[in-house]
Structure formats: C-alpha cells, structure tokens
Structure 1
Amino acid sequence: MALDQATKLHLEKELLPFLTLEARGDLKSVAIRYFLELTGSKEGRDFIAEGDKFLKAIASLTCDKEKDISRDAFLTLINLTADEKIAWKLMNTETTFIYDLLHKMLKPDFEFADQASSIIANTTRIAGCASKLACQILEANSKVTMENVVNVLCKVNFNKNATLHYLGLILSNLTQVPGIRKIIMDKDRCIIQKLLPFTEYADSTIRRGGIVGTLKNCCFEYEYHAWLLSEEVDILPRLLLPLAGGEEFDDDDMERLPVDLQFLPPDKEREADPDLRTMLIEAVTQLCSTKQGRLLIKEKNAYVILRELDRWEKDPKTKVACRNLIDVLISDEPQQGMEDLHKVEVPEHLVEKFNQMDLDLLSDFKEELDKKASEEKEEKGEEKS
C-alpha cells in the first residue's frame, strides 16, 4: 500500500485519536486492526515508526480491557519489533515499557505472556537494548530479579495461558551483559545449576536454545571456569551430553568420561539443531581458553565425544567448530606465559589467516558433503532401475 503524505496526514488525523484507552471500543478495534495489517509491509512499519505518536499509542493499548484489542496491540508490536530500528526506538520512546512487560510476564496469570515475551526477545536481541533492560533489572529497587526469571523459566507449566519458551531467548540476550552473567553465576544463589538439565529439553528448541545460549555466554566469564567445571556446578557433562551419540568406547576411554556420559544407550540421539550443536561446542571451547579448564576437559576425555561427533556431523559450520575444538584438545600445551589463551594477543595478520583457514575448511566440507549427497542420489537411482 502506497502511503503518500496526504494518506499519512489522514491516518494521523482520523485514526490516531482512536488508539487510546478512552476511545470507544468498536472504533479502537477497527483502528488497531488497521495498524496490525499495516505492519505487513515495510512501508507500513516505517510509517508507524515515524515520530513517537503511533508507537506510544499502540503500546498503551496492550493494557486495554478488551482482550481482542489488547491482543491486536501485542501482535502489532511483535511485527514492529522484528525491525531492529523500531525495536530500539520503542525501547527509548517508552523507557520502561519492556521492563514493565517483563514484570507482567513473570506473573502466573498474565494472559498475553507469550506475546509479551516475543516482543521482549525481539527487542533485547539488540545489545544496546539488552544493556538498557539489564540496568533497569539491576537497580536496587527493581521489581524484577534474575533469580525470578530463571525460576519461572525452569517451571515448565508456570502459566496455563502461555508456554513462555521465548523467556529462554530473553535470558540468553540478557546474559550478553556481564553484570547479569555474574548474578546467574552467584556462588551462593544456586541459579545456573537450575538451567543445566534444559540442555536436552525436548519440548521446545526455542527454550533449549535460549538456555544453551545463556550457558555459552556465562563461559565468557573466565574467572568462573574452575567453579563451572567443579562438582558444585559440573557444567561439562551437560554441554557434552547433547553432542554424544550411542557409540561404544573401550574400557579405558569409558572410565575417563564423566559418569553421565558413560554407557549411553545405542539409540541415544544427538542435538538435532546444528546451530545449537555449534553453540555447545563454542561453550566448551571457551572453557578451554583457561589452562585449568582445558586440562580438566582433556582429563575428562571430552575428545572421544567430539571425535565421534566429527565423524557424524554433516553441517559444515558445526564441523569446523568441532575440528577447531579437537585441535585444541589434542595439541601440546602452550609455552609458559601463554597458557590462558584468552589473554594471548594474536597479531591481526594471524587472525585474518586463521579466519581464512576456517573459510577454506568450511568450503572443503561443503564440497565433500555435496559430493556424498550426489553419490547417494546416484546409488538410489541405480537401485530403482
């Protein structure tokens, strides 16, 4: 739909007055439905985002007493916040709107918790918005605590009206912020431990992925590596278990594995989503960036799990990540003074060289997989004939 200046002025004059809580219900319903349909095009979304008037008005209608009007307002904002520029604008126009939504969705009877979580997840995927929301949560008098967020996320049937799967993505987005990560890893609160079983949560890839992303982000706090790998948390088996299949190992290899990875059933399936497999590998790789973490991961024989994953893996990007981690585990230990890899300054020309090596390896894997797929197709054709 073309929106010329005359049309824009007409909409502002004729429809904006009905995007208020005080307007007549039937007129509000028509107005918000029109704007919901308008979000189906980029031109429509850009028009709504011009200035502050429409965004503020639509946000206000999420509190309408009429459920259909409130639902349409939420759906309109979901479509709008899919655009990063508009999400950023909403966060800065309605300064506590996202925070207030998060507070509401942590209540067990909030009917539009799933719609709210989609809006918050869309908005906080932008690092600046995540930081702003984190600052509001970290304020001394905040109504929202990270402990409450995790407790709600880990209680699967918390809200009978909503699944709350997107709360996992919100948590992952928020843990981009160091202050949030440190709360999640507060050694006296036992928060991160509650998330660990969800690395294999079968009912939702979104919730599972959000929690895997959260754990990966926490692994960037290098001073916590020893604690994360200790018996107090024992994060390694939870990161490796989704990557493990049902392969058999000899007695020596089996005994060196963590107990949770020993004698897995022959039909044990690996994580189906390649992006999640990559994140799990990257989390273990981060833990290998400190000497203490790397030595423990070697001692726990993570190599054999990754070796079998590499043989099985068909996704080129995941395969490159797996190979890089294997290289770390089978290489000799760095010389003294370079044991903590995250502290080593790598010259820019070497960074470029390593990146190019990864790209070349990725290209090789793609060619190899395409060749295998072509050969399998030919074999099937021959069998049919």
Structure 2
Amino acid sequence: MTSELEDLVGFIAHPTPQIRKLAIENLVPYSTTQQSIFKTDQLLPVKHLKFLVRDEQSIAEHALTILINLSANREFLEFIATDDKFLGVILDIISDPAEKNANLLSMLLANLSKWDGLKSIATRKQKPAENLGSDDLVLNQLVDLFVKGMDGTYNKHADFDYLAYLFADLAKHPEIRQYFVNPQEYDGVIPLNKIKVFTEHKSDVRRKGVASTIKNVAFDVPSHKEFMDEDGINILPYILLPIIGGEDYDDDEAMAMLPDLQLLPPDKQRDSDPHIIQTHVETLTLFTSTRGGRDLMRKISVYPIIRETHLRVNNEDVQEACDRFVQVLMSDEEDEASSYPQLEASVGQAQIEAQGEVESDGEDDKIVEV
C-alpha cells in the first residue's frame, strides 16, 4: 500500500492537470495519517506542493491543505518555512482580492509562525497589492488584510481570521512586540489599535488570536504606559468588556469603573470561551507588574470584575488566573519585584490542521485544532 501511495505522490507533478488534480485530491487524507510518503527523494513531493499553490484553484486548494497538515511536523515545518522564495509567493497571493484560497493561506502562515525564524518578517518588504492601501512592509500588509478583510469585505472568499494566530505567535518575539506598539509611517496608526477592536468579534478564531496577541505584546513592560494611556493604545476597555457580565455592583465600585463599563445592560454576556477570558485576565496580571499598573487597576475597580468572573465562570484555569491577579494586586507594595507575574506567552492556539476536503469558503467547521 505504501509503495502505491508513493507512486500516487509522484503524479502530483504530472504535466496533465486532470491527473495532477485526481492525485492530489486523493492524497489529502494521507497528509495527516501517513506523512512519511511525502518525505521521499529528500522531500521532493513537498517541493512540488509548494509549486502547486500557484496552480488552478482546486489543485492549489488541495496543495495548501496538505501543506497545512504537514507543517504540524517539525521536519516539514522547517523545510517549508525556510524557503524564502515560497514565503514571498504566499505573501503575494494572499493579498489578491480575488484569491479563493486566501483563508487557507492564512492558516498556513499561522502554522509557519511556529518556526521562530519567521520573526524576520518584521523587516521583510515587498510590493503591496494596489487595493490594499498599505506600504511595502509585509507586517503592515498582513495587519491591513486582517482589518480590511474581515467578514469578506476585501475578498468575498475570505475573512483572514487565522492571521490573528499568526500575530499571536509572532508577538512572542521582542522585535514584533515593538512593531505592534509603534505608529507606522504610512498611516500614523499603532498596529495594536487596529486589531484591539476585535476582542468582541463574532469569530472565535479572531477573538482568540487577538487576545493572545495583546497578551504577548504586553510582555513588553516598558510599553505598559502606552497601553493604558487613553490617548495611546487605551487597551483596558477592550480587555475588560469581554470578561464583564451584567452583574450588579455597589455604587462605589460601578462609579469607579471605566466609562465604557458603566451602565451595561443586565443581559450583558461575558465571552463564552473560557480560554479567552483566561487570556485577558492574564494580560491584566501582566499590567500589575509595575506600581503604576497596580494603582490604576485599583483606581478603576478591576478587582470587583475579577471577583465576579471568579464566581461565575466555572473553569479551573480561569479561576486560577483570577486568583493570581488578586494575589498580585493585593501584594505588599514594598516588595515590587515579588509582584512580577510569572506567566508564559500565549501561542497562536494549537497547530492548525486542515481536514479532508477543505472548502474555499473558509467555514470554521472544516478546521480543527490539535
């Protein structure tokens, strides 16, 4: 059976499109169950797959699906992610407003960010798509795609939600964190201000990725003042709104809260995903790593919100995150160093795996996290 599959792999490079299409379509399931067949001849099949992402739409769709699945394996990941020319091809194709496989390209980029070397994208430049209105810095192009492309507004075939996972993983690196907190020359906007507005978006993927991106950027302690400046990033309303419900608070507690959190309707629901709530609470904990951050948390009544979250979210990880926040907030101010929160960076969720026949409309039920 293995030899037959290896023969089938060879047909993905066949000059006849119909044969290529049939071969690659039948190989998709094996990209998760028998990945070894793609390792023959020094990963030659993967070289062919990288070429096929520029083939006609259905062949390219299957090629991308297989590459997404293979990139869960470290050997394949490095082989794909270190191909600078291929990365340029992906970045060029994904910006095409008519590209039907743009969501799959977003997923592949998210997986490639598991390779630390992709942080070089911080300085990578190439010509932007004319319709995008961005400059030649690739990171700006991807952020603009994420913002302008939501819900099919830039490309009717894509929502670019999975780019949020790319940003989250990239933000583990200091140079990427600096990118997210500094205004860009071409539009004068801080990139984090572009994506913070999605903390309450309807897409679970988008919310998860944005929450993790904010948390990872918040590991840059010197930028905390900018984070909390109402005329800067002003991140706190975008973190607190997803974790607050419609509970009643004492008048003193409510009046001290940020204006955006006052007079919320009684049916206000906190985020339905406990992982997202946990991530936001951990971000708040990072902000308590300085005296100024702790003072501000107390001033705007963050504690009552965390108290109610602890009581009402029946999730051990969320409750532990709330406990950690309270311990730091209530710590002895004379020992600043002991208050520094020991947290780990969030990754862009799990490795993305494309299952079977992946439709080009990017429906979430075609994707699982492993």
Q: TM-score range by the shorter chain?
A: 0.7 to 0.9
| Residue aligning to 1:333 | 333
Q: Name the aligned partner's letter for residue 12 of structure 2.
A: L
Structure-to-structure mapping, 1:150-165, within 5 angstroms: 150-155=143-148, 156=150, 157-165=153-161
| Residue aligning to 2:79 | 89
TM-score, length of structure 1 as denominator length: 0.78
Q: Paired residue for 2:162, among 166, 189, 192? A: 166
Q: Distance in 2 between matches of 1:36 and 1:144?
A: 34
- Higher-Rg structure is 1
How far is the alpha carbon of 1:201 from its aligned partner? 0.7
| Residue aligning to 1:283 | 283
Residues 278 and 321, structure 2, Cα contact 8 Å, conserved in 1: yes
| Residue aligning to 1:360 | none
Q: Paired residue for 1:34, among 14, 23, 26? A: 26
CA RMSD of aligned residues (A): 2.3
Residues 248 and 263, structure 1, Cα contact 8 Å, conserved in 2: no
Residues 171 and 214, structure 1, Cα contact 8 Å, conserved in 2: yes
Change over 3 Å in CA distance of 1:290–1:106 after alignment to 2:
farther
| Residue aligning to 1:383 | none
| Residue aligning to 1:363 | none
Change over 3 Å in CA distance of 1:107–1:177 after alignment to 2:
farther
| Residue aligning to 1:122 | 111
Within the alignment, does 1:147 sit opposite 2:143 as a pair?
no
Greater relative contact order (Cα 8 A, min sep 6): structure 1 or 2?
2
Q: Distance in 2 between matches of 1:283 and 1:311?
A: 19
| Residue aligning to 2:204 | 205
How far is the alpha carbon of 1:99 from its aligned partner? 4.3
Residues 146 and 184, structure 1, Cα contact 8 Å, conserved in 2: no
How far is the alpha carbon of 1:257 from its aligned partner? 0.6
Structure with the higher helix share, 1 or 2? 1
Within the alignment, does 1:178 sit opposite 2:174 as a pair?
yes
Within the alignment, does 1:62 sit opposite 2:53 as a pair?
yes
Per-residue Cα deviation, 1:165-198 (whole angstroms, up to 9, x for no partner)? 1111111122122111111100453221122221
Q: Which runs of 5+ in 1 are unaligned?
A: 343-350, 355-385
Structure-to-structure mapping, 1:33-52, within 5 angstroms: 33-41=25-33, 44-50=34-40, 51-52=42-43
Q: Distance in 2 between matches of 1:61 and 1:340?
A: 52
- 2:97 is paired with a residue of what secondary structure? coil
Per-residue Cα deviation, 1:177-233 (whole angstroms, up to 9, x for no partner)? 21111111004532211222211112x100111111110111000000011111122
Structure-to-structure mapping, 1:166-315, within 5 angstroms: 166-187=162-183, 189-202=189-202, 204-232=203-231, 233-315=233-315
Residues 49 and 67, structure 2, Cα contact 8 Å, conserved in 1: yes
Q: Distance in 1 between matches of 2:141 and 2:81?
A: 22
| Residue aligning to 1:53 | 44
Q: Distance in 1 between matches of 2:125 and 2:31?
A: 38
Q: Name the aligned partner's letter for residue 277 of structure 1.
A: I
| Residue aligning to 1:133 | 118
How many residues were matched structurally? 326
Per-residue Cα deviation, 1:149-172 (whole angstroms, up to 9, x for no partner)? 222212222211112111111111
How far is the alpha carbon of 1:53 from its aligned partner? 0.5
Q: Name the aligned partner's letter for residue 94 of structure 2.
A: M
TM-score, length of structure 2 as denominator length: 0.81
Q: Distance in 2 between matches of 1:95 and 1:145?
A: 13
Change over 3 Å in CA distance of 1:334–1:101 after alignment to 2:
farther
Within the alignment, does 1:100 sit opposite 2:89 as a pair?
yes
Query: What is the identity percentage for the equivalent residue pairs of Structure 1 and Structure 2?
Result: 27
Residues 103 and 144, structure 1, Cα contact 8 Å, conserved in 2: no
- 2:324 is paired with a residue of what secondary structure? helix
Q: Which runs of 5+ in 2 are unaligned?
A: 128-135, 344-370
Q: Distance in 1 between matches of 2:90 and 2:137?
A: 10
Residues 110 and 159, structure 1, Cα contact 8 Å, conserved in 2: yes
Q: Distance in 1 between matches of 2:334 and 2:192?
A: 31
Q: Name the aligned partner's letter for residue 193 of structure 2.
A: Q
Residues 256 and 301, structure 1, Cα contact 8 Å, conserved in 2: yes
